[in-house]
Structure formats: C-alpha cells, structure tokens
C-alpha cells in the first residue's frame, strides 16, 4: 500500500492562482493564543523555488501581524491511499481557512512549515469500495 500526501494553497501570493505541493508529512493540532485555541498545521516538504516565499511570508507576518494581505485563504491537505497495484483505495481531505505562515525551519534537505488558521473543516473521506456477490 502506498500513499500520496499533498498540500494545495488557494491564491498563493505572487503566483496568481492555486498551487499544489507534494509533502512528506502533515501534523494537525491546536495552538493556544491567549485564551483562544486555533488550528495548527505543520507540514514537511522538500526545499524548492517556493521555500523563499514561505520564509518571506513568515518574516512579514512578524513585522505586520494584523496585515490580512499575508493571509492564505485556503489550505487543503489531501492524503490518497493506493493498493500495491496502484488502485485508488481512499482519500481524506481537510481544509484550513484564513491561514498564515507562523514559522519555517530547515530540517535536513527538507523544511518544516507551521501554519495557523482561523478555522478548520472536518475530515472528508471517500473510498473505492467494490461489492460483489458469488
């Protein structure tokens, strides 16, 4: 069995549209800010051309914490699972809305990006189920 994990960012800054990244891991949690709990997403991915853009968003967020122009309108994590023959088994999708880049840290040949969001959707799962009768 194998899986494909992706992060799609709607209206990525300087891109003018949506962009999808292959990621190696995704951890979903909460961060307490004052007395409020906000959704937190931590992803690990390989360094590439867009790494500097994520770093720029994290630096600008610290300089201008209330600037809504730095928000990412929607992040979508998708985890698709396939059997040994490459046949689709299931897929899970989770959306994060009005997110910001909190931090970006090097991790060997990869980077770890932490996003904070205003809200998160529930998990949406689809599966390929075959039913047959003898």
For the purposes of burial, counting CB atoms within 10 Å of the CB of 98, is it exposed (0-12), middle (13-18) or buried (19 or more)? middle
Q: Which CATH superfamily is domain 2-127 in?
A: Hcp1-like (2.30.110.20)
Q: Please tell me the distance from the alpha carbon of residue 53 to that of residue 73, in angstroms, as a whole number.
A: 16
Asked whether the whole model's pTM tops 0.85, one would answer yes
- Which region among 1-10, 56-65, 91-100, 106-115 has the lowest average model confidence (pLDDT)? 56-65
Quote the mean pLDDT of the chain: 89
**CA 105, CA 87: separation in Å to the nearest integer?**
35
Residue-wise DSSP of 108-119 = TTEEEEEEE-SE
Extents of the domains making up the chain? 2-127
Q: If we measure between CA atoms, which residue out of 98, 104, 120 comes closest to residue 42? A: 104
Which pLDDT tens digit goes with each residue over 96-120?
A: 999 999 999 998 899 999 999 999 9
């Amino acid at each position: 069995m194998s899986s494909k994990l992706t992060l799609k960012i709607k209206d990525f800054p300087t891109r003018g549209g949506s962009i999808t990244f292959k990621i190696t891991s995704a951890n979903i949690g909460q961060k307490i800010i004052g007395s409020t709990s906000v959704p937190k997403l931590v992803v690990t991915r390989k360094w590439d051309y867009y790494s500097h853009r994520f770093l720029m968003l994290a630096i600008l967020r610290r300089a201008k914490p209330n600037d809504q122009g730095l928000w990412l309108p929607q992040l979508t994590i998708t985890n698709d699972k396939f059997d040994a023959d490459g046949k689709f088994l299931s897929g899970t999708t989770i959306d994060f809305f009005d997110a910001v880049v909190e931090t970006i840290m090097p991790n060997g040949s990869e980077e770890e990006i932490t996003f904070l969001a205003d809200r998160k959707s529930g998990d949406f799962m689809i599966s390929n189920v075959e039913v047959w009768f003898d």
